[in-house]
Chain A
Amino acid sequence: MGATPYIGAAIKRKEDYRFLVGAGNYTDDIALPGQTYACFVRSPHAHAKIKAIRKDKALKAPGVVAIFTGDDLAEAKVNGLPCGWLITDVNGQPMKEPPHPCLAQGKVRHVGDQVAVVIAESTQQAKDAAEMVQVDYDVLPAVVRAGEARKKGAPVVHDIAPDNICYIWGLGDKAAVDKAFSSAAHVTTLEFINNRLIPNAIEPRAANATYSRADDSYTLYVASQNPHVERLLMTAFVLGLPEHKVRVVAPDVGGGFGSKIYLYAEDVVMTWATKKINRPVKWTAERSESFVSDAHGRDHVTKAELALDASGKFLAMRVTTTANMGAYLSTFASCIPTILYATLLAGQYTTPAIYAEVTAVFTNTAPVDAYRGAGRPEATYVVERLVETAAREMKMNPVEIRRRNFITSFPYQTPVALLYDTGNYEATLAESLKVADVAGFSARKADAARRGKLRGLGYSCYIEACGIAPSNVAGALGARAGLFEAGEVRVHPTGKVTVFTGSHSHGQGHETTFAQVVADRLGIPMDDVDIVHGDTSKVLFGMGTYGSRSIAVGGAAIVKALDKVVAKGKKIAAHLLEAAEADIEFKDGAFVVKGTDKKKAFAEVSLAAYVPHNYPLDKLEPGLNENAFYDPANFTFPAGSHICEVEVDPDTGTVKVVNFTAVDDFGKIINPMIVEGQVHGGLTQGIGQALTEGCHYDPQSGQLVTGSYLDYCMPRADDVPAYKVGTKETPCTHNPLGVKGCGEAGAIGAPAALINAITDALGVKDIEMPATPQRVWRVCQENRIKAAA
């Protein structure tokens, strides 16, 4: 009891039991009385005018309850989906924000665009009837690639953006950068594509909405990472419903990786339709639907240049990126290739001048938004590919060139707006060199050569920014939402504790990590603490979980509320112990009169708060329930060093990742086992991007070629090695736990390490991601690379 150092302990996850025994409760598990089922009619074309929709035949199909189209939503004055971040372009003009209708209005703009919804007594009946909805299309030419969208004469996706440009945005001192380049001893230039990815959470998106005539209220169960944000956007901007009449519940959610942050059309349509039909209506995406309708990630075309002096010191960086937004602006799409990308281009280095220009374009593809890493993997890829390439071109050791340019004193103001509070890049690099046994690499390379294989080593010293904040700064940069988090600590009379958090766990293990923080702070057993999240009717407010913000922002809000609980407890204890409040200290789960053995246990104080017989009622309210809102002073800046070792079979082009080392600085670590799990998952997704995952739209037809697992290659267990991981801790200086966040680091650092390793093995400057066997083989053919032996 008490005094248990839960923070820092590798405790098994509390939530695993229910997941392992199949006792989880996901949106699709929820069946409501009178349940109906929805199926969406989706566009088979990338770009087409809708001439007519005929639903008479489908309406007569067995079990059909209702069919709605864009006309029905327009008539009901349902708005389109909003974008949550306004980007102002280089000329001071606001970005182009074309309408994003929940059901198509006259035109479809990508394969999978939702055209109509069919609601029936069963899913099968809804699907049968959906096939009978006849839509006459006038097919238009499509454009799917970012580079093509900017060309003259390209098909126009939205009339309000005749050049397909959403915005052209810039960050940094262009003149200073141009000047540095003109006098540089060496310039390294790379042009590459950061490949589009499809998120593929194991639980597909789902929504089940129900309306109550009794009090004119709605409940929406939805696979979401941020139910309060979903409710706010839906009620205030789209449906115009009173916010307090809508309850949004995100129950167990099977992974999100960003794809479940957004307000999606299907969620709105379910919520609107349930009142129309006065019955609950549920939609669960099929996997092939997820492929065409979930928000995708990445998809940049970039030219990047690094100017160096003769000694390898970085002088300036110039980056020009075209970012594919897809057919519509998803909820946070606009800030990903700008605020979360260009600001990270300093990396771990003292590059004094940086300029980035980003052109965001519309194409006839699924919308693109944040996906694990969100802008930061793209930035790290730019920086770490440039740095490694520069080292090779200047015949410098890639470790040495990094060391020569590391930021070593903090706080550090980068030329791209961020203020790094703390870090120790040499520490993570040095540790990673040891763990990866870089010293033994040349022997391993020689051995591989004897077996006809090519070994390569690649580095990636990444930095990321988590817990995007503070709200007022984000607001000045165009954010249309706050970026704080809320928490509530409800101490029950017996001293048991329920904590309500605005963060949302969809695989991260918050029920364990947050309980560790609470139990540690209150000196009570972890079993006495439950964490509640994901329900707007229970949790006071929440901005949700994305951008690795939960522990740094959500955890900090809980700590603030815990501090209030302890402060009030001291007042109660002072009364009970007949001591001055200033003499009470809270230690090991008890309120103690300093320097004495007089004390009251936490549960004794909580009982007194709820049974206030001996209680200072004249000065203090009864009860022990506190909440807090926490708005961070700054981002946190996790950083680390990844080292990847690959073996390439030049005969087939197969790349095997033989070693992968990640030494990360996540600040203070609450649960090292959960952190390691997050690192493993992130690295695997990063390896997926670099090696296997490539979303491919046919450039002529705009059809999604990689529309199933037969063609879209998710990384599997046998694609990745047994990771070697380590951590170094420099605590964050501005949040009460000293934590930084760890959810995305793996996905951010890994792709550059991998491509650096492959290009090292092959002795080539670049290879496009994903480095599939065919692509690697072609590079071998073009460069006459053969096995050494």
Chain B
Amino acid sequence: MYSFKYQKAKSVDDAAKVISKNADAKVLAGGQSLVAAMKLRLAHPTDIVDLGTIRELSGIKADKSAVTIGAMTRHAEVAASAEVKKAIPALAALAGGIGDRQVRNMGTIGGSLANNDPAADYPAGVLGLAATIITNKRKISADEFFKGLYETALAQGEIITAVSFPVPKRAAYTKFKNPASRYAIVGVFVAESGSGVRVAVTGAGPCVFRVPEMEKALAAKFAPESVANIKVPDKNLNSDLHAKADYRAHLITVMARRAVEAALK
């Protein structure tokens, strides 16, 4: 790790000020990606602004129509939350399946979304549930938020403060893990709500994406067989040692089918 300057943020505005002034400064949330990259000397921020002490960034609020999760809420808290389990059990299960126990006790929803790792789980839940990302400056819809490989709609100096999830009628997340890293090779989040069905896929491409053909078929009939024969073209999918694009394309179909099965249970 290279040396860097560390400071605790007193407020979100305070943190935003530091990173607006200095492109080499980084906000620290749970540190599960950033700190690992720093240890390997792959990341070299000059300044670290720790959001860990801003209490209002943490916590879960739920009512009949929505669940709102503070940006600094740890995955383990979401997984264990009675409110989340009741309102959107698929979201609690997703959080409970991220990384390992240590990662879940440190990692945060805001950190995960801001990083937008192509194999992260939360992007699938956020896009699948049509959540709204709330920042210190504005509200961004999930469809607008994810821009590409590690890219989001966040502007410089913009910090996620919370994420609001509308409560769906039913939903499920199914993930096929990379055997080594346990990141998603393919993760599919399926949700049915009053406004229709959404299918969001993580891990398979450079960035989380929706599958309109599956959504249409499921809107017509929410059943596993509706997606069983829908193939996503493998042209733009990731390809590596563990899973070439054609295998990933196949797994999208299998995981989508299983997600629908799980949502109906």
Do A and B bind? yes
Residues in A lying within 8 Å of B, measured CB to CB: 124, 127-128, 288, 651-653, 692, 696, 705-706, 709-714, 719, 772-774, 777-778
- Chain A nearest CB, measured from B133 CB (Å): 27
Verify if B254 is at the interface (C-beta below 8 Å from A): yes
| 10 residue pairs bridging A and B, Cβ less than 8 Å apart | A127-B41, A288-B40, A652-B176, A692-B180, A719-B179, A772-B242, A773-B176, A773-B179, A774-B243, A777-B247
Instruction: Give CA–CA (A773, B3) in the complex, Å.
Output: 41
Q: Please name all residues of chain A whose beta carbon is closer than 8 Å to the beta carbon of B254 when the two chains form the complex.
A: 651-652
| Beta-carbon contact of B241 and A711 below 8 Å | yes
Given A706-B180, A709-B181, A713-B180, 5 more A-B residue pairs with CB atoms under 8 Å apart are: A124-B3, A653-B247, A692-B179, A710-B181, A773-B176
Which B residues from 160 to 178 make CB contacts under 8 A with A? 176, 178
Q: Please name all residues of chain A whose beta carbon is closer than 8 Å to the beta carbon of B242 when the two chains form the complex.
A: 711, 772, 774
Q: Please name all residues of chain A whose beta carbon is closer than 8 Å to the beta carbon of B41 when the two chains form the complex.
A: 127
Q: Please name all residues of chain B whose beta carbon is closer than 8 Å to the beta carbon of A653 when the two chains form the complex.
A: 247
- Chain A nearest CB, measured from B73 CB (Å): 26
Q: Please name all residues of chain B whose beta carbon is closer than 8 Å to the beta carbon of A692 when the two chains form the complex.
A: 179-180
| Beta-carbon contact of A705 and B241 below 8 Å | yes
Q: Please name all residues of chain B whose beta carbon is closer than 8 Å to the beta carbon of A714 when the two chains form the complex.
A: 180
Most B C-beta atoms less than 10 A away, residue of A712, A713, A773: A773
- Chain A nearest CB, measured from B18 CB (Å): 24
Verify if B251 is at the interface (C-beta below 8 Å from A): yes
Instruction: Give CA–CA (A710, B178) in the complex, Å.
Output: 9
Q: Please name all residues of chain A whose beta carbon is closer than 8 Å to the beta carbon of B244 when the two chains form the complex.
A: 774
- Chain A nearest CB, measured from B261 CB (Å): 12
Q: Which 9 A-B pairs have the closest CB atoms?
A: A713-B180, A710-B181, A713-B179, A651-B254, A774-B247, A711-B180, A774-B243, A692-B179, A705-B241
Chain B minimum-CB-distance residue to A692: B179
Which B residues from 216 to 265 make CB contacts under 8 A with A? 241-244, 247, 250-251, 254
Q: Please name all residues of chain B whose beta carbon is closer than 8 Å to the beta carbon of A696 when the two chains form the complex.
A: 241
Q: Please name all residues of chain B whose beta carbon is closer than 8 Å to the beta carbon of A711 when the two chains form the complex.
A: 180-181, 241-242
Q: Please name all residues of chain A whose beta carbon is closer than 8 Å to the beta carbon of B247 when the two chains form the complex.
A: 653, 774, 777-778
Verify if B23 is at the interface (C-beta below 8 Å from A): no
Chain B minimum-CB-distance residue to A772: B179
| Beta-carbon contact of A709 and B176 below 8 Å | no
- Chain A nearest CB, measured from B237 CB (Å): 13
Verify if B82 is at the interface (C-beta below 8 Å from A): no
Instruction: Give CA–CA (A365, B179) in the complex, Å.
Output: 24
Verify if B1 is at the interface (C-beta below 8 Å from A): yes
Instruction: Give CA–CA (A772, B241) in the complex, Å.
Output: 10
Instruction: Give CA–CA (A651, B255) in the complex, Å.
Output: 10
- Chain B nearest CB, measured from A617 CB (Å): 66
Mark contacts of B169-195 with chain A using CB atoms, 8 A cut-off: 1 yes-contact digit, 0 otherwise: 000000010111101000000000000
Chain A minimum-CB-distance residue to B257: A651
Instruction: Give CA–CA (A651, B181) in the complex, Å.
Output: 21
Most A C-beta atoms less than 10 A away, residue of B3, B40, B41, B247: B247
Chain A interface secondary structure, helix, strand, loop or mixed? loop
- Chain A nearest CB, measured from B225 CB (Å): 14
- Chain A nearest CB, measured from B183 CB (Å): 8
Instruction: Give CA–CA (A64, B254) in the complex, Å.
Output: 56
Q: Please name all residues of chain A whose beta carbon is closer than 8 Å to the beta carbon of B180 when the two chains form the complex.
A: 692, 706, 709-714
- Chain B nearest CB, measured from A395 CB (Å): 34
Q: Please name all residues of chain B whose beta carbon is closer than 8 Å to the beta carbon of A652 when the two chains form the complex.
A: 176, 251, 254
Chain B minimum-CB-distance residue to A128: B2
Chain A minimum-CB-distance residue to B243: A774
Chain B minimum-CB-distance residue to A713: B180
Q: Please name all residues of chain B whose beta carbon is closer than 8 Å to the beta carbon of A710 when the two chains form the complex.
A: 178, 180-181, 183
Chain B minimum-CB-distance residue to A770: B179
Instruction: Give CA–CA (A652, B241) in the complex, Å.
Output: 16
Instruction: Give CA–CA (A106, B179) in the complex, Å.
Output: 40
- Chain A nearest CB, measured from B180 CB (Å): 4
Q: Please name all residues of chain A whose beta carbon is closer than 8 Å to the beta carbon of B40 when the two chains form the complex.
A: 288
Which B residues from 102 to 127 make CB contacts under 8 A with A? none
Q: Please name all residues of chain B whose beta carbon is closer than 8 Å to the beta carbon of A778 when the two chains form the complex.
A: 247
Instruction: Give CA–CA (A713, B181) in the complex, Å.
Output: 7
| Beta-carbon contact of B1 and A124 below 8 Å | yes
Instruction: Give CA–CA (A709, B179) in the complex, Å.
Output: 10
- Chain B nearest CB, measured from A750 CB (Å): 17
Chain A minimum-CB-distance residue to B258: A651
Instruction: Give CA–CA (A652, B3) in the complex, Å.
Output: 44
Instruction: Give CA–CA (A652, B176) in the complex, Å.
Output: 8
- Chain B nearest CB, measured from A37 CB (Å): 15
Q: Please name all residues of chain A whose beta carbon is closer than 8 Å to the beta carbon of B241 when the two chains form the complex.
A: 696, 705-706, 711
- Chain A nearest CB, measured from B190 CB (Å): 17
Instruction: Give CA–CA (A685, B21) in the complex, Å.
Output: 51
Instruction: Give CA–CA (A651, B174) in the complex, Å.
Output: 14
Instruction: Give CA–CA (A653, B246) in the complex, Å.
Output: 13
Q: Please name all residues of chain B whose beta carbon is closer than 8 Å to the beta carbon of A719 when the two chains form the complex.
A: 179
- Chain B nearest CB, measured from A478 CB (Å): 38
Q: Please name all residues of chain A whose beta carbon is closer than 8 Å to the beta carbon of B251 when the two chains form the complex.
A: 652
Q: Please name all residues of chain B whose beta carbon is closer than 8 Å to the beta carbon of A705 when the two chains form the complex.
A: 241
Q: Please name all residues of chain B whose beta carbon is closer than 8 Å to the beta carbon of A651 when the two chains form the complex.
A: 254
- Chain B nearest CB, measured from A277 CB (Å): 25
- Chain A nearest CB, measured from B246 CB (Å): 9
| Beta-carbon contact of B250 and A777 below 8 Å | yes
Instruction: Give CA–CA (A248, B228) in the complex, Å.
Output: 64
Chain B minimum-CB-distance residue to A127: B41
Most B C-beta atoms less than 10 A away, residue of A651, A706, A709: A651
Chain A minimum-CB-distance residue to B39: A286
- Chain B nearest CB, measured from A401 CB (Å): 33
Instruction: Give CA–CA (A709, B2) in the complex, Å.
Output: 22
- Chain A nearest CB, measured from B123 CB (Å): 19
Q: Please name all residues of chain B whose beta carbon is closer than 8 Å to the beta carbon of A128 when the two chains form the complex.
A: 2
